[in-house]
């Protein structure tokens, strides 16, 4: 079969790949990745409030996944507008927050029905906040937009794309005895190669990765995301995707994804441990230096979003505004929180938590 970067790849091979892909080397890597993933998932299950991790990690994933597509926002602005994308939020922040909306919408969708073509369409539609059917017009290619040089041209024609997506769905739900992590890696390549939408394919594909892990019951909560790993290895990511197309280099591609899962799981496990240590320390500060006592809702407010508002404490803890203000001010005085004035509103930032979330190592 011949392949040309300038020609629509309507002959994109169907799944499963004909080349051997669950090699001995791959299966050894699967064991390591599964062990790291299981340790992370078990640790998250022990957390009294896993939404502490789900809310924050999903925002950082949204930021990283959007950054891959050159949609940039700051962590500060992202968390500040996490619950309300006000008009003053930047366009990049609003678009990044739509990614998180698409993620949670996808999770709800697979709770009701299996992953399907419609799942992908719904995810992409939520990312863009407009109907996103599969491509019908020719002309889409991946390459240098300024010179017009193509690196890869995906399949064209609605029927061809839908047929390829149908095969992709079949492999997502394959009855063959393949490891779900290997299936996810293969499906990620295939989805990006089909490139079914006019825009948003990368972000949609990365959300579908998480949905597959949750659907396969390898994750209870959506807390493992590969976007930061992809950013750190962006050139290798695109090189290996293309190598599958040109040389059927499945083993190298799958090993790359498995390494990303292993490394990301270890980093997330380290975050969980550090977060729990910090929660214990701040809980003691709350007991000793505020009248909140053992009010567990207050600690949840400070960790479900590291940018807390007085109104959040009032609503969650069922106390008056003066009481909520007194609690937060006491924690500012102790150096636990940082007080930031934004317009007429005060934000109380859990900086130590932010540092843990932003940490990129598993140390």
How many angstroms separate the CA atoms of 214 and 237, rounded? Answer: 23
pTM equals: 0.92
Strand segments (E) across 16-152? 142-144, 149-152
| Confidence (pLDDT) at 361 | 57
pLDDT at 360 (0 to 100): 67
pLDDT in tens, 169-195: 999 999 999 999 999 999 999 999 999
Q: How many CA atoms lie within 13 A of 118 on its CB side?
A: 5
Identify the helix (H) or strand (E) that includes residue 345. strand 345-349
On whether the CB atoms of residues 327 and 318 are closer than 8 A, the answer is no
Q: Which domains does the chain have, with CATH numbers?
A: 24-269 (1.10.3290.10), 270-358 (1.10.10.10)
Res 85: pLDDT:
59
Q: 266-295: per-residue pLDDT in tens?
A: 999 999 999 999 999 999 999 999 998 877
Q: Tell me: pLDDT of 72 over 80.
A: no
Average pLDDT taken over every residue of the chain = 91
User: Phi/psi of residue 309, each to 5°?
Assistant: -115, 155
CA distance 85 to 83: 7
Q: What pLDDT, on the 0 to 100 scale, is given for residue 195?
A: 97
List the one residue out of 242, 249, 272 whose CA is nearest residue 356.
Answer: 272
- pLDDT tens, position by position, 306-334: 889 999 999 999 999 999 999 999 999 99
Query: What does the block give as tokens for 186?
Result: 């293969």
């Amino acid at each position: 079969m011949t392949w040309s970067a300038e020609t629509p790849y309507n002959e994109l091979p169907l799944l499963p790949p004909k080349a051997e892909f669950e090699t001995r080397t791959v299966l050894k890597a699967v064991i390591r990745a599964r062990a790291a993933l299981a340790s992370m998932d078990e640790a998250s299950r022990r957390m009294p409030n896993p939404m502490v991790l789900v809310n924050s990690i999903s925002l950082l994933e949204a930021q990283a996944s959007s950054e891959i597509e050159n949609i940039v926002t700051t962590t500060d602005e992202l968390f500040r507008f996490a619950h309300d994308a006000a008009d003053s939020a930047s366009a990049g922040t609003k678009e990044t927050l739509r990614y998180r909306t698409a993620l949670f919408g996808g999770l709800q969708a697979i709770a009701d029905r299996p992953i399907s073509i419609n799942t992908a369409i719904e995810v992409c539609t939520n990312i863009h906040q407009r109907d996103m059917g599969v491509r019908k017009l020719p002309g889409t290619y991946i390459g240098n937009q300024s010179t017009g040089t193509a690196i890869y041209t995906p399949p064209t024609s609605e029927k061809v794309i839908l047929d390829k997506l149908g095969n992709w769905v079949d492999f997502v739900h394959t009855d063959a005895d393949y490891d779900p992590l290997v299936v996810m890696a293969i499906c990620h390549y295939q989805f990006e190669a089909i490139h079914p939408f006019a825009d948003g394919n990368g972000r949609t594909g990365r959300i579908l990765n998480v949905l597959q892990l949750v659907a396969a019951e390898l994750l209870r909560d959506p807390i493992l995301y590969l976007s930061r790993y992809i950013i750190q290895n962006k050139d290798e990511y695109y090189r290996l995707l293309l190598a599958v197309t040109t040389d059927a280099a499945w083993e190298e591609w799958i090993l790359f994804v498995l390494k990303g899962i292993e490394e990301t799981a270890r980093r997330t496990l380290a975050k969980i441990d550090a977060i729990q240590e910090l929660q214990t320390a701040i809980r003691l500060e709350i007991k000793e230096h505020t009248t909140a006592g053992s009010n567990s809702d207050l600690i949840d407010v400070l960790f479900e979003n590291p940018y807390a508002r007085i109104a959040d404490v009032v609503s969650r803890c069922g106390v008056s505004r003066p009481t909520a203000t007194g609690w937060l001010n006491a924690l500012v005085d102790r150096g636990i929180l940082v007080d930031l004035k934004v317009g007429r509103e005060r934000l109380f930032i859990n900086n130590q938590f932010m540092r843990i979330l932003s940490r990129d190592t598993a140390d």
